[in-house]
Amino acid sequence: MGHSFDRSLSSSERKFGVAVIIYGIRAFRPPRALELGNWVKGLMDADEFLLNPVLGTALIDLYAKCGSIAQAVDIFGMMKGKDRVLFNTIISGLAMNKHVRATCGIFGQMEKYGI
């Protein structure tokens, strides 16, 4: 998967479906996963990205597992139409990275959303 996948990533003409992108995100481990996450974030059309909770959740999970919690929180803040899964992912990521106060703050936001 290494060389051929790298060639696919470098092709600016390629369009990838969300399922392929999510599979790619989950297939790699840090630090390669972080590099892929940044590439995906740059690749996605802003509206498509912000309205896709599945892709947003995958990126939040990736960044949290790589220890880049600030990037995970940024993506969470940009996402539109937050749902239970998105909230659960950011809460888990914050807790995993020992950000207790932020975890409680996000939980409070979730209650305000009525989730």
Higher-confidence residue of 4 and 108: namely 108
Round to whole Å and give the CA distance between 50 and 109: 18
Q: Mind listing the pLDDT tens digit for each residue in 59-111?
A: 899 889 889 999 999 989 988 888 999 999 999 999 999 999 999 999 999 99
Q: Mind listing the pLDDT tens digit for each residue in 36-57?
A: 677 666 665 566 667 788 888 9
First to last CA, the chain: 40
Q: H or E segment at 20?
A: helix 18-27
Domain boundaries, the chain: 20-112
Q: At 101, which amino acid appears? A: R
Under 8 Å CB-to-CB from 40, ≥6 apart: which residues?
21, 24, 25, 55, 59
The pTM of the full predicted model, rounded to 2 decimals, is 0.70
- Give the tokens for residue 29: 């481990």
Cβ-contact 89, 56 below 8 angstroms: no
